[in-house]
Amino acid sequence: MMRRRIWASRDGVPIVDFALLVLLLAAALYANSLTLIGVSIAGSTIALRELLLVSIRRRFDAGGSQNYQYGFGKILQAGNLLIAVVTIVTGFWLAGRTFDLTLTGFREISPLRLAFAATANALVLTWNGFLVHSYREPLDPATRVLQRARRRLFVVLLAIQVCLTVAVLAKDPVIAFCSDIFAAALAFLFIVVGGVKLSWDCICDLIDHPLDRDREGAIVALLTREGVKPEELADLRTRHCAERIFAELTLRIREAAPMEDACRRIAVLRRALEAEIEGLDLVIKLEGVEA
């Protein structure tokens, strides 16, 4: 029962992630493979993000949220930003090493070591494939973001696995070397592009960036559908953090109108918006109209 609960909450995922990463790093050092170092960096990014999410969530569940009344989204994104920056830096280090090796010449990787590297990569690939398959429909939005990143990692791991397998089967040291360089470049691209995208998302969330026009337009369309006329919509302020959307809606209502009617209307509006937009944190303000 306990085991099932840990599994359902993904609390155990970072533990397996880190165990596999240690194995992968050992294999990388043994095989002297830049590709596996790249895969370790990419894998550690997701493992760290999982760990961050699990630890913050536990802290908040245990009641450590009195000072953070708007949820843990920003703490999560600040942690993710740090992880992204470190990932980009290590990604560039990997690129430098790969470039250096490409220029300075050939480095032999023995077939046995390469086979070991391919096996280690296959293990990590299987684990990620299992996670992608098991959590196809994760419950909460924060986990869904991680799941998307894991799906991308799975695709890259698959491409790297093809390169490594070809290198092992070819039994030619030059092909093995070229495959390692190519796969390392692939890993570098994945790390840096993913890191830059993650950093940008985190920065936008941390600086209270508003929703894009389409998403804000969708909220306005919903309001219109619920009977809010354009002249009644005094203002709409939005911002987002992780998968949570904060919206502050100001409605113009006749000052002479009974409060009870206004309340009923606001309650209906709130229910409709919250049912349509997942993770919505809605605040409704009133502005009076004389007539």
Residues that bind other proteins (CB under 8 A): 66-71, 73-75, 78, 203, 206-210, 237-239, 241, 248, 253-260, 262-264, 266-267, 270, 274, 280-288
Please tell me the distance from the alpha carbon of residue 229 to that of residue 226, in angstroms, as a whole number: 9
Q: Are 123 and 220 in contact (CB under 8 A)?
A: no
Please tell me the distance from the alpha carbon of residue 138 to that of residue 161, in angstroms, as a whole number: 27
Nearer to other proteins, 57 or 239 (CB): 239
Q: Are 187 and 92 in contact (CB under 8 A)?
A: no
Nearer to other proteins, 169 or 203 (CB): 203
Question: Other CB atoms closer than 10 Å to residue 9's CB: what's the count?
Answer: 16
Nearer to other proteins, 31 or 219 (CB): 219
Cα 188–Cα 209–Cα 41 angle in degrees, nearest 5: 20
Rounded to the nearest whole angstrom, what is the least distance from the CB of residue 85 to other proteins in the complex?
9
Rounded to the nearest whole angstrom, what is the least distance from the CB of residue 213 to other proteins in the complex?
10
Rounded to the nearest whole angstrom, what is the least distance from the CB of residue 283 to other proteins in the complex?
5
Sign of the CA dihedral with 4 first, then 5, 10, and 15 last: negative
User: What are the structure tokens assigned to 28, written together?
Assistant: 């990388």
Rounded to the nearest whole angstrom, what is the least distance from the CB of residue 76 to other proteins in the complex?
10
Rounded to the nearest whole angstrom, what is the least distance from the CB of residue 200 to other proteins in the complex?
12
Q: Are 4 and 114 in contact (CB under 8 A)?
A: no
Of the candidates 138, 142, 146, 10, the residue with the CA atom closest to the CA atom of residue 71: 142
Nearer to other proteins, 25 or 76 (CB): 76
Rounded to the nearest whole angstrom, what is the least distance from the CB of residue 37 to other proteins in the complex?
23
Nearer to other proteins, 62 or 207 (CB): 207
Please tell me the distance from the alpha carbon of residue 286 to that of residue 137, in angstroms, as a whole number: 38
With tokens 């070229």, the residue in question is 178
Please tell me the distance from the alpha carbon of residue 101 to that of residue 164, in angstroms, as a whole number: 18
Nearer to other proteins, 108 or 276 (CB): 276
Please tell me the distance from the alpha carbon of residue 165 to that of residue 117, in angstroms, as a whole number: 10
Of the candidates 268, 258, 278, the residue with the CA atom closest to the CA atom of residue 228: 268
Rounded to the nearest whole angstrom, what is the least distance from the CB of residue 214 to other proteins in the complex?
15
Round to the nearest angstrom and report the end-to-end CA distance of the chain: 62
Rounded to the nearest whole angstrom, what is the least distance from the CB of residue 81 to other proteins in the complex?
9
Nearer to other proteins, 78 or 186 (CB): 78
> Would you call 208 helix, strand, or coil by DSSP?
coil
Nearer to other proteins, 11 or 216 (CB): 216
